[in-house]
């Protein structure tokens, strides 16, 4: 990451290709990459005007984070990861709760496919505990303890499986770095500028605090994509990141 803005991954959580590509075109010089998740994938699909949307981003040397949160039997996840690797995505994620065999299958599929194609493998990161969940939510689904305890347990397991990092809130980032090492990536959603609308997120952080806690990449959607001036919003967040990183 050569500049503070490279830490920003804009979530293209919109319902149509035209809006997504307009955001990409205006923001690409001001951020580090773009997250393509379930809403855009399902609503617009991969095919628009006979071309693959992700192909169009990859062709322009854009870092694409494919946020499909793969969670299935190991064979199925491996197949999905092979397809994503062939598509040229820069980063993809799987659910850590899918278990050891599933995560290992994902990593193996990414590396074998990229080796066969003669290119760099995508980063594989494991989703720990969604930032929309708190302690009460975990207890309701039968998980004992705090979000941080669950995040750390899953992070250690994920590292042992060979993944490159985890998706977790900034609130757990410092503890993850202590347990898993400085090179183990922490990708954090739930990022809101001070005073911003939390929406459906519960474990939140400002951009500056996230960087101080050790987060490597910040996934930011609505504070940028729904701003009156998305470019200025991205520039302001990058400035906050720069200030936090210099302290």
State phi, psi for 36 to the nearest 5 degrees.
-105, 115
- Among all chains, which residue has been given the structure tokens 């969670």? 71
Give the three-class secondary structure for 221.
coil
Q: What are the angstrom distances between the C-alpha of 124 and each of 14, 76, 95, 98, 110? A: 24, 16, 11, 14, 8
- Based on the number of CB atoms within 10 Å of its own CB, is 38 exposed (0-12), middle (13-18) or buried (19 or more)? exposed
Question: CA 29, CA 45: separation in Å to the nearest integer?
Answer: 25
Token digits for 208? 């500056």
Residues taking part in catalysis: 69
Angle at CA 73, nearest 5°, toward 68 and 74?
90
CB atoms within 10 A of CB 172: 28
Radius of gyration of the chain (CA): 17
Give bridge partners of residue 92 from the DSSP assignment: 66, 124
Q: How far apart are CA 216 and CA 172, in angstroms?
A: 13
54: left (phi over 0), alpha (psi -120 to 50) or beta: alpha
């Amino acid at each position: 990451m050569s500049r503070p803005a490279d830490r920003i991954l804009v979530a293209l959580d919109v319902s149509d290709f035209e809006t997504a590509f307009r955001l990409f075109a205006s923001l690409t010089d001001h951020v580090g990459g773009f997250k393509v998740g379930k809403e855009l994938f399902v609503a617009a699909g991969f095919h628009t005007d006979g071309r693959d949307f992700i192909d169009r981003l990859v062709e322009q040397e854009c870092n694409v984070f494919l946020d499909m949160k793969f969670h299935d039997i190991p064979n199925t996840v491996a197949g999905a990861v092979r397809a994503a690797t062939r598509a040229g995505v820069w980063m993809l994620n799987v659910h850590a709760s899918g278990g050891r065999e599933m995560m290992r299958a994902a990593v193996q599929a990414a590396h074998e496919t990229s080796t066969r194609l003669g290119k760099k493998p995508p980063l594989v990161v494991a989703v720990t505990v969604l930032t929309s969940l708190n302690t009460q939510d975990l207890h309701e689904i039968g998980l004992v303890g705090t979000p941080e305890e669950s995040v750390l347990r899953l992070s250690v397991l994920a590292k042992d499986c060979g993944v490159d990092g985890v998706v977790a809130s900034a609130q757990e980032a410092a503890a993850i770095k202590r347990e898993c090492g400085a090179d183990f990536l922490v990708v954090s959603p739930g990022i809101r500028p001070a005073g911003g609308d939390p929406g459906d997120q519960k474990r939140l952080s400002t951009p500056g605090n996230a960087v101080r806690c050790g987060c490597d990449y910040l996934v930011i959607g609505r504070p940028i994509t729904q701003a009156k001036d998305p470019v200025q919003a991205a520039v302001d967040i990058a400035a906050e990141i720069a200030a936090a990183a210099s302290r």
